[in-house]
Amino acid sequence: MHNKKKAIVRVPATSANLGPGFDSLGVALDWSATYTIEISENPNSSNNDPIQRMVASAAGAFFKEEKIDDSIEFSVTYESDIPVGRGLGVSAAARAAGIIAANALSGAEKKLLDMLPLAVNLEGHADNIVPALLGGMRVVVIDENQINQIEVPVPDDLGLVVLTPKFSMPTEKSRKSLPTQLSRQDVIHNTGRIAILIAAITQRNYDLLHIGVQDILHQPPRSRLFPAMYDLFEVARSAGAYAAYLSGGGSSVAAFVNKLNSSEVVEAMIVASEKYDLGAKVTMCSMGGVGAELLSIE
């Protein structure tokens, strides 16, 4: 371990599932948070919220895995306007930040791909933390404890309008509403949709995106927690979006748009937020950019 004491890391928000890609598809957004992680003698005095504790815990887990002094503790501060519990990968970003910082502070110099197993183990949601670390749109499949991931090229003209309501839908809570079994027809439905979704993105056949985002596994039960969800999908499409879906476990709704012609979708979503009293923030995002970045170390 070298004598560096502070690392600053930037990590993107992520949007997962994209409709039918449950626990297997996610994308990095150009909406990020910046974390400052310091080796500290009095970390508990500053780590007062869950995000700070997630970052510090992930950094500690990295030190433990690398068999570095596990008595070392961390103080964390961060700047972020990414809301918690809205399906935008906040916990994944926090854990990615801790791991990246610990790698730098320890002098371990591990490659990002080598850090994926620890990251996925800590976060539990590979579809969020893999794009958070690596950037891009990623398909992730875990097979016999092996993390297999591949990037899906995202066209430059395709973006997301993200509507983020004032209420949260914590992932673990919303997962309890999901079915424990699916029929064969349900499985055929979702496998066909995820296949056509990825093909439509890579081939720029955007007219098929509205079919590609259809899901029968998690969006219908989650709509019971968010009754306006399907109406918002239709509002987005009526305003010119290609398709819309529930981001992650919600409550954010994301709509695929042409980045050069998205203003009507943004305006329609703002009006819909007022109609349904969602108190929402509406954000235009690019997709598929960089993942976690070490900005400085000292």
71: CB partners within 8 A, 6+ apart: none
Q: Is residue 49 part of a domain?
A: yes
Residue 82: the pLDDT is 96
Is residue 129 pLDDT above 80, yes or no?
yes
One domain, residues 177 and 129: no
Q: Is residue 246 part of a domain?
A: yes
Give tens-digit pLDDT for 254-267: 999 999 999 999 99
One domain, residues 293 and 149: yes
One domain, residues 166 and 272: yes
Q: Is residue 102 part of a domain?
A: yes
Is residue 173 pLDDT above 80, yes or no?
no
What mean pLDDT is predicted for residues 139-143? 96
What mean pLDDT is predicted for residues 201-208? 98
One domain, residues 108 and 199: no
Q: Is residue 1 part of a domain?
A: no
One domain, residues 138 and 259: no
One domain, residues 114 and 190: no
One domain, residues 138 and 114: yes
Is residue 251 pLDDT above 90, yes or no?
yes
One domain, residues 124 and 181: no
Q: Whole-model pTM?
A: 0.94
Supply the CATH number for residue 27's domain.
3.30.230.10
One domain, residues 15 and 113: yes
One domain, residues 179 and 146: no
Supply the CATH number for residue 202's domain.
3.30.70.890
Q: Is residue 240 part of a domain?
A: yes
One domain, residues 211 and 141: no
Residue 6: the pLDDT is 95
Domain coverage including residue 260: 158-286
229 φ/ψ angles, rounded to the nearest 5 degrees:
-60, -55
One domain, residues 182 and 268: yes
Residue 175: the pLDDT is 79
Is residue 43 pLDDT above 60, yes or no?
no
Q: Is residue 137 part of a domain?
A: yes
Number of domains in the chain: 2
